[in-house]
Copies of this chain bind each other. A is one copy, B any other.
Amino acid sequence: MDKAKRIANKQKQISISEFFEKNKHFLGFDTHQRAVITAVKEAVDNSLDACEEGRILPEIHVEIKRLEGGRLELVTQDNGPGIPRDSIANVFGKFLLGSRFHAIRQTRGQQGIGITGVVMYAQLTTGSTTTVLSKIETESTAVRVDLALDTKNNRALKSNEERIPLEEWFEESGMESHHGLRIRTVMAAKYQRGRQSVHQYLRMTSIVNPHATIRLRVIGKNGEIIDEGEWVRTTNKLPRPVVEIRPHPHGMQFGTLQRMLKNTKERNVKSFLTKEFEKVSPLVSKKILGHAEIDEKRRPSGLSVEGIQDLLSAFMAVKIQAPPTDCLSPIEELLIKKGLEKAIDSRYAATVTRAPTVSQGNPFQVEVGLVFGGDLPSDGSVEVLRFANRVPLMYQQGGCLLTKAIESINWRPYGLEQTGGKGVPKGPAAILVHLASTNVQFTSEAKEAVADNEEVHAELRRALFAVGRGLQSHRKRVGQRQKSRDKFDLINKILPEIASKSSSMLGRPKPDLSPIITKIMNAVFCEEETIWNAKEKLAICSIKIYNYTARARAYTIIAKWPEGEKISIIHESMKGQRETIGLRKWRLDAINPGKMAEITFSVGGLGQGDWKEAEVFFRGSGEIIGCEKLDEVLVKDMKRQESLKEMVEDFEEELENHHTPNENVGHVNQISDQVEDFGGDFSKWVRQGDE
């Protein structure tokens, strides 16, 4: 027999279940320690997604029991919308069945793989079925069913299906909710504490999902409690609903466009472009088709391969607005700082949220936080905390684009050690990176590392440069202050002491030292100190301006403070004025030579460590050591950005009250476009501070 035929005869179709059974490591089931983290992650991600979709404040309980023979029992319970009886088998027993695969919006799950992988792993390693108990609101009873996987045919095998009365549901779920989902499974796995653990995963999850209450209990073989955690929600406000959008023309794939052209119901290419894409107005559509030299009246399905190629080129050549941002849900500044928990003891914290942009038709947005100093260990690598779509990434740090972006930057000018100017830097710092995207491209189904992508990499670098520059500028300020403090010590303590000693020795009155000091210093100094008043739960900021020049000085002093929804100024030593969001100004009329003026103000609504240093600026002539001149152009931009943000927020509130997204999509987009036009990220500001 021919060799080729002999080989060909062995060809066999494999089912997707068989494929994942053999490649369970693709799904995150490579080691026993990781298996339980993956299982919890899949269940909790699903619960959070379902609650968000159902607009329910999530309550999630995770219970793990150690069993004999290296096995664990895992029970997860939520108060989500539940799953209708007829869908349970598909959701848990069929790979590649999902509701979000084709949708363009930010969700945790997308592929329809995760939880089926858990059922599969349990069956493969222990032969156990997975029990699902589901209660949906519109039914008076819950349903319970045991599920196994028919691997050859990629479908679930149900057994023991039964209806459960409401009281039993309440009792078993341990909740008072009329809807929810409970999953029980047994798998070969190992519970461990540490940096890569269920505990850490849930903690990180709760930080970036402050609207969720999460409980963990781990029980040993003898019923003893091995580990526990409770993270109660800190806000009752659900994340803004993410809106599903149409594709954006930028970075569209040939094949995707070809398929859209073939399947569209639109009768000509012009309306095809305006109806099926974001940000393509009739005018833009006209421009695109003009550039591609395609007749507006052409039937979409009639375009040739060359025509499609021309259309793609035109997409990139014609100016098209950035995609709408309401399909994304960033973590935002305060949560990033909370995520970098150690920030509480560290000396410097900065965050940058970049404006959304687009890669391969998918909107995405990056956020970066950096904390430095304090109690952070200075002898090892910087701690890297990675998040994608609000999900913490615990594994595959080395192979992840988020890490690679950090490694690609030369951190040495910013004050972190780094061998050869690349790699993860060393020093007392922690860096948080979040990628929010309608399509996070992971390196594998386990969703632990982000795959290479040039646009995302570039955005990450921009954000990291910005926090780096902020750090550098902070270190410079700290250095300057130290120097001026040394000078003060010399002049304010030693000179007067010499003067008093020598005058008493000579029996003469003590001379006025101000003119001498002024002569020596010939400069204006600024000293800033922010302290935490634990009793009153206030952050108190003091700004002192020393005029050691020969003439009187007048300034407007501006301080940057973390203004926010519940964060406001409680007292101030002199009446100030709001300049724009996060900027307050005070008028100092005349500080005479040799004199000092002080401004103090206290801020309420913060937690300890949330704010530890005010950036101080001034308006006026000359220079102030330890204080930069305010950049008026940036203030103007900030004011503009604020007014736009208010518009968006007002609208969002409206949206939340009358949840009819489709009609209003146009409006939100319009506003957020204006924000986008501005550029709208704080990184410019941070960068400016440094130059």
Contact = CB atoms under 8 A, between A and B. Distances in A.
B14 A98 contact: yes
Given A26-B445, A254-B126, A443-B444, A96 B15 contact: yes
Interface in A1-45: 2-5, 7-8, 10-16, 18-19, 21-23, 25-26, 30-31, 34
B127 A53 contact: no
Nearest to A256: B124
The 6 closest A-B pairs by CB, nearest first: A399-B399, A398-B398, A124-B255, A444-B444, A10-B99, A25-B451
A305 interface: yes
Contact of A452 (B11, B34, B136, B423): B34
A454 interface: yes
A449 interface: yes
A423 B259 CA distance: 47
A413 B336 CA distance: 41
A542 interface: no
B81 A4 contact: yes
A127 B2 contact: no
Interface string A121-147: 001111110000010111100000000
A31 B444 CA distance: 15
A5 B99 CA distance: 12
Contacts of A254: 124-127, 188
Contacts of A54: 3-4, 7
A14 B443 contact: no
Nearest to A1: B138
A313 interface: yes
Contacts of A31: 452-454
A514 interface: no
A419 B231 CA distance: 36
A81 B256 CA distance: 35
20 contacts: A2-B84, A2-B139, A8-B84, A10-B99, A13-B94, A15-B96, A19-B96, A23-B111, A23-B441, A30-B453, A31-B453, A69-B309, A69-B313, A125-B253, A125-B254, A126-B254, A188-B254, A397-B399, A398-B404, A444-B445
Contacts of A87: 8, 11
A302 interface: no
A517 interface: no
Given A188-B254, A398-B397, A443-B399, A81 B136 contact: no
Interface residues on A, range: 35 or more
Given A124-B255, A127-B255, A4 B451 contact: no
Contact of A83 (B4, B56, B125, B423): B4
A31 B7 CA distance: 33
B398 A16 contact: no
Nearest to A188: B254
A229 interface: no
Given A84-B4, A90-B11, A419-B426, A30 B451 contact: yes
Contacts of A90: 11
Contacts of A2: 81, 84, 136-139
A7 B23 CA distance: 29
A351 interface: no
Interface string A515-552: 00000000000000000000000000000000000000
Interface-central residue, A34, A94, A96, by most chain B CB under 10 Å:
A96
Contacts of A451: 25-26, 30
